[in-house]
Each structure stands twice: as C-alpha cells, then as structure tokens.
Structure 1
Amino acid sequence: MDRKRVTGPEHSVPPLFKTAAIRKPILNEKNRRLDNRNADDLRPIFLKTGLVTQANGSTYIEMGNTKVVCAVYGPRQLKRVGFSPHGTLNCEFKFSTFSCTKRRGHMRDAQEREFSHTLIQALTPAVRLELIPKSAVDIYVNVLENDGTNASLAAAIIAASVALADAGIEMLDQVTACSNIFSGDSILMDGTMAEENQQDGSLMLSYMPSLNEVTHILQSGKLESDNISQAMEQCIDGCSKIYNVMSSALLESLH
C-alpha cells in the first residue's frame, strides 16, 4: 500500500450544477421598483457627524440598507519627506468582513484599493491642499453594510467630504456623489444589490454643486452615449438633493 497516495472515497457523488437564474423584471406594471421607489428616486438618507470622538472629524451615513462610517485624522506633519508645497490625501477604503453576502477578508483586496484611489481622485479637487504644505490628511472609510457596491462608493465619498468639513479642513466646496445602474432600457438611481445583480452597466458621478464641477466619473458596462448623457444629468440632479442633506448635517454639528 502506497502511504503517500491520498485515497479517494469509496463512493462518489455527482456534482450539483446550479440552474441559470431567471431574470425578473426590476420595474413592475406600475413602474415601481422592488422597494416601491420610482426609477429616479433616491433612498432615504441619514447623516450624522461626530461619531468617532478620537478623530478630528467623522461621519456616519445610511442610504437605505447601505451603512458607512468615515473618520478623518490630521492634518499631520510628514517626517523624513522632502518639502512639498502641497499637502497629500491618504485614503483607506474597507468593506467590513460581515458587510457583504460573501464574507470579505481582513486584508484589503484589489477592489478596495481601487475604491481608495477613486476616493482620493474625487476629493482632491475640492480640498485646498496648498494651505497645508508638507502635511497629510488620513481618511478611513469602513462599510458596515453593503446594499449596492456603487451606492457604497457614493456614500463613502459623501461621508468623507462631510468628515473633512467636520475636521476643519478648508475646502472649495462639498463633494457629493450619486450612482445609477442600467437595466435594459431603464436607468435606475441609487441601485440596490438585488438590482445590481441584474444590471447591464453602471455609472457613479462625483460633483461639486456650488462650483458646478464634476470631480470624478466611474463607468462600467457597455452603454450608449445617449444613455450616458441622461444618466449624468440624473446623477447631477441627485447630487443637488444630497447636498442639502450634507449642509443640514454640518449645521446641526455647529449647534
């Protein structure tokens, strides 16, 4: 008997193959979605500052079942680095291990590193880094519950922008973000995870309402140019609505 050989079981069982899931329509006969929203409706938003007392600025945001917390530390002086006339933004985006349907790892994966870089690109145009030379601002974003990947990224940008303002970092304008998904001929704002599973493409836009400037666009899927233009207009309208919520949360933190 070969002791180095791993013997298989005496009886074998045929593998079970999953049948292809039937694609259900996202909109019903009354043009309502699964959560009874219209195609261009956003989920209810709850925004609160001052959650992390040890941080210079922090924010907690809920958009439906999407829950994100953000903490900002700094500005802190960089050591052992040559002089730089501009400060730097450091960002760490992380999904909690229990936030998704499939358990995430403790170490950051490729998607989380990409989202960290996206956050820096979306927020840098709004932060006056020339006022904090040779300094760094650290942003930590943790997704507690993920009900839509693009929606979680948009919520992270909103939370990070409010946390920067809460920390007293001087900015040109607040950065809002909004996402939508494409399913057939329909454009759905602020898609949930169930809707993302049936999407043909998606778009996430970051926007500064007061300056009327777009800071970042993230698109996936094969889309028509007319649909992209319509989706961008809807995202800008959604960002304007979210901007009022962000301003109200910052005003409440002052009282």
Structure 2
Amino acid sequence: MSTDAPADPSRRPFAGSANPRAGRGESPLPTAAAAYWEAAAASFDEEPDHGLRDPAVRAAWAARLRGWLLSGPAAVLDLGCGTGSLALLAAEQGHRVTGVDRSPRMIARARAKLAGREAAFLVGDAAEPPVGERRFDAVLVRHVLWALPDARAALRRWAGLLAPGGRLVLVEGRWGEAEPIGVSAAELTSLVAPLAAWTRVESLVDDPVLWGKEVTDERYALLAEVPGRDGAVADAPLASPSG
C-alpha cells in the first residue's frame, strides 16, 4: 500500500504507532483500505513529490537517495512504493529494486515506469512484505507508518529483512498544528533504537524543492543501520543518540 496520498499530509490520520481507530478497537480509517489506494492511483503522480515530474524535484530526491542508500549496486526493498517514482531513481543509480504496494493499480504503474530495468514489483502488505526469506541491503519506506496497525511490529519485520550492515531509510513527518498527526523524529527514533546499531535523523523541512513548495511542519528521514544475524535483531545494541 502506498501511503503518500492524500496530497496534503496534514490529512494523513496517524497517531503514535498505530492507525488511531484500530487502536481504539474500531475499524481502520478508510484511507488505510486497499480500495482507497486503487482509486488514488490514477492521479497519484500529479503531486510534485509523488510523480517527480518536475526536473528540480526529481533531482532533489535523487540527490537525497544517493546519500541515504549504500554505495555501489545494492538490493533495495521499497515498501509502499506507489507508482515507483523513488524505485526508478534507485534503479537509475544502479540498485536492484523490489517494490511492494497494496494497490494492484499502483503496482501496474510502477511496472510500466520501470519496464526494462532490474526491478520487480509485488502486490502485498508493506507491514508483511511477501518476499520470503530474502535479505536486502536497504529497506526504503516513505510515509507508510501512519497507516499501519502496529508500527513497532512492522519495524521489527523490516529490520529482519536486512542483510548484515543493511540500512533502514524511513521518510516520515508530523503535520498539523491544532491536532498534529504523524510520527515525530523523536518517537520514531525511540521505536527504532532497540533494533539499530546507530541512527541518524536528517531534516527535510529546509529543502522545499523536495515537496514542490515551502513547508513548515516536521519532515525528516531517519537512517538506521541494523546489523542483524539472519533476521535476529533482539540482541542488537541500542542506537546512539542522533541529531
């Protein structure tokens, strides 16, 4: 499932580490349903940071990915990949990409966008990617945690999919003033810390080109190295404080 829509992030219903209604024993919010993302697929790429059609926006995300992902060809798992815009950037940088999204229409667009490249796309749940026992050098996730019923369990699963020395790349944020939603950098760091050898938080607020507009809410990328041993992360050292 892609979770970069709706376009206005202040309308993304995330509170803490779970879908808020699900956490209260209610049905998940409609925007977490597969049908929502199926309907959104047709217009998904119209947002500057989704379709990356503006050369400046595209170049800004490409530069960030180049710094976040490991150098040299790597196996990258893009969860909630949407129409594959970030996956395409990663493939252009020489990485082998596997994308997972809940929406078949999103996946169809991603496959078309990366036709002829070393990439594979699967329909499936980002929280439980249908990749079997495969291991990846990097797990890339952008604006997905808000829609998951158990973010802590999902992070543990993602960490277990990393090869030794692999990296989590989590692009997240917290939006709104009166009733802010999303996950703050401090909250996400605390969730990732038990799984990581180190973490680093990189603010994305001061780069409006990424979003195609000026932004004032909290937007960031959290990078974490999760050493792991065949997916066993319980004994990994706690993360060092990050800025």
Fold-level match, TM-score > 0.5? no
**Normalising to structure 1: TM-score of the pair?**
0.31
Which is higher, the Rg of structure 1 or of structure 2?
1
**Normalising to structure 2: TM-score of the pair?**
0.32
